[in-house]
Chain A
Amino acid sequence: MKPAPFSYHAAQTLDEAFALLQAHGDEARILAGGQSLTPMMNMRMARPTHLVDIGGIEDLAYIRGNGDRIEIGALTRHYQLEQSSLVQRVCPILAAAARNIGHYAIRQRGTIGGSLAHADPAAELPLMAVLFDTEIEIGSGAGNRVVMASDFLVSIYTTALEPNEILTQVVFPTLVAGEGWGFRWVSRRVGDFAIVSVAVTVKLDSSGRVERLRLAVGGVDAKPLALGQLADAYVGQGPGSRWVEAIAEEAAGQMQPGSDLHASAEYRRELTQVLLRRALRDALDRLGKH
């Protein structure tokens, strides 16, 4: 297995990268960590004639707190998200998601920008982006724009990125004190993409009723789904076991997954229900503890 021939361009700055993309148009492809693109090139499922390596743009690798936001540069590697003490403290679900990506050696190289731009429907970081409907910042030679994750992710392996654009930053919110979270998944083997994965956050008000609820499910559709409407319907209630059960059941009922080699639609729906139940319980167990 060998990739088809290409010309290699190493961009040292964003401006250089924009110029290279402009010059080579549709023939060019951005290379970040290469943990998704290079396998596809090795199998010749991707055959770019120009490869624009943005790995050397050091200003794109950072994690910084900014009030109640965490700004994450596109070239931040999965292991850096996993190990960041800031992320572990203020958005621990994101660190947990990063820790679950592939294998140790894959996490050393793969980047958050690459994972979002690749848009695998079962991937961890797109699930997190959808859970929080994060702001995704995109640049091009012509200027910058911000797209919300729900609009950024279009379908399987398809995003709102134009060929001349580069994803530069993702902004996550911080969880507030006392906000619980849960992240659960099922995969055949450790390190495989999940068959189904779910992520939730739960915040209670001072009277113990649910004040904010976020729900997202991956692996059941062409992109990870945020269940915003369903979540809103369960705000204002006490989070007892009936509440947990009703959400899990209603969510599973709404899912219309496909059947494929890895799992049947029925199994995916069943997993959605079981995993949501567990994730919600995890979140309630963690309330006030993170």
Chain B
Amino acid sequence: MSNISFQLTVNGVAREVLVEPRKLLSDVLREDLRLTGTHVGCEHGVCGACTVQVDGRPMRSCLLFAVQMQGNQITTIEAVMKNGEYSPMQQALHDEHGLQCGFCTPGIVMTFEAYLKENPDPTDEEIAEALSGNLCRCTGYQNIIKAVRMAAAKMNSPKNQEVEP
């Protein structure tokens, strides 16, 4: 089966790719676009390591064919840091020891960057429910839950909501 060429918009940049239709978005990101921050674990939607955002919504890049994504805005972990600074979610994972090996971390960040916009003040139970879609084999989850709580608090604090004059 032959390659086809099309455009993907990743992290705001239009990129030309030449791949087979069967190539998963996760593999195109990693192999063709060299964005290796998106990790690949199970390739059937269970582990969450490959989670990216499509038009701002977290989705499994292992369950999307890249060819389906023409016309969508794809955001990966590489675009989360702004001006050399961690996002509140990234910083909170660091501060709360919410990662050890870091394999699951990009998926967790991409999930909760979106989740906290939709649900800015989640309960621990809600965080645990949302986190059920991201397997972590190292941390035991408790510190990740703490980190999400910390990030939510930071993002909700009046200081962060000040509008630049």
Contacts from A to B (Cβ < 8 Å): 1-8, 10, 31, 34-35, 38-39, 41-43, 51, 53, 55, 102-106, 108-109, 189-191
- Given A55-B68, A191-B132, the answer on whether A103 and B21 have CB atoms closer than 8 Å is no
Pick the residue among B43, B111, B132 that contacts A190 (CB under 8 A). Answer: B132
Contacts from B to A (Cβ < 8 Å): 1, 4, 20-22, 24, 27, 43-45, 48, 51, 54, 57-60, 62-65, 67-68, 111, 115, 128-130, 132-133
Bound state CA distance, A87 and B73, in angstroms? 29
Pick the residue among B20, B43, B44, B130 that contacts A104 (CB under 8 A). Answer: B130
Smallest CB separation, B6 vs chain A (Å): 10
Bound state CA distance, A214 and B45, in angstroms? 34
Smallest CB separation, B47 vs chain A (Å): 10
Are B67 and A8 neighbours in the complex by a CB distance under 8 Å? yes
- Given A104-B58, A104-B130, A189-B132, the answer on whether A5 and B68 have CB atoms closer than 8 Å is no
Are A106 and B43 neighbours in the complex by a CB distance under 8 Å? no
Are A190 and B45 neighbours in the complex by a CB distance under 8 Å? no
Are B59 and A105 neighbours in the complex by a CB distance under 8 Å? yes
Chain A residues touching B, majority SS:
loop
6 contacts between A and B (CB under 8 A): A1-B44, A3-B24, A35-B63, A51-B21, A55-B68, A105-B59
Are A104 and B59 neighbours in the complex by a CB distance under 8 Å? no
Are A108 and B58 neighbours in the complex by a CB distance under 8 Å? yes
Are A38 and B22 neighbours in the complex by a CB distance under 8 Å? no
Are B44 and A6 neighbours in the complex by a CB distance under 8 Å? no
- Given A35-B45, A39-B44, A104-B115, the answer on whether A8 and B63 have CB atoms closer than 8 Å is no
Residue of A nearest to B44 (CB): A39
Smallest CB separation, A47 vs chain B (Å): 10
Chain B residues touching A, majority SS:
mixed
Pick the residue among B22, B57, B59 that contacts A6 (CB under 8 A). Answer: B22
Are A42 and B44 neighbours in the complex by a CB distance under 8 Å? yes
Are A2 and B22 neighbours in the complex by a CB distance under 8 Å? yes
Residue of A nearest to B23 (CB): A2
Are B129 and A190 neighbours in the complex by a CB distance under 8 Å? yes
Are B63 and A109 neighbours in the complex by a CB distance under 8 Å? yes
Residues of B near A42 (CB, < 8 A) are: 24, 43-44, 62-63
Are A104 and B133 neighbours in the complex by a CB distance under 8 Å? yes
Bound state CA distance, A42 and B68, in angstroms? 16
Residues of B near A104 (CB, < 8 A) are: 58, 111, 115, 129-130, 133
Bound state CA distance, A66 and B59, in angstroms? 32
Closest 9 CB pairs of A and B: A103-B133, A5-B1, A8-B21, A39-B44, A190-B132, A191-B132, A38-B63, A108-B57, A105-B58
Smallest CB separation, B134 vs chain A (Å): 8
Bound state CA distance, A285 and B62, in angstroms? 42
Bound state CA distance, A190 and B68, in angstroms? 29
Residue of B nearest to A192 (CB): B132
- Given A103-B133, A104-B115, A106-B133, the answer on whether A34 and B58 have CB atoms closer than 8 Å is no
Residues of A near B132 (CB, < 8 A) are: 103, 189-191
Residues of B near A31 (CB, < 8 A) are: 68
Residues of A near B51 (CB, < 8 A) are: 105
Are A106 and B22 neighbours in the complex by a CB distance under 8 Å? no
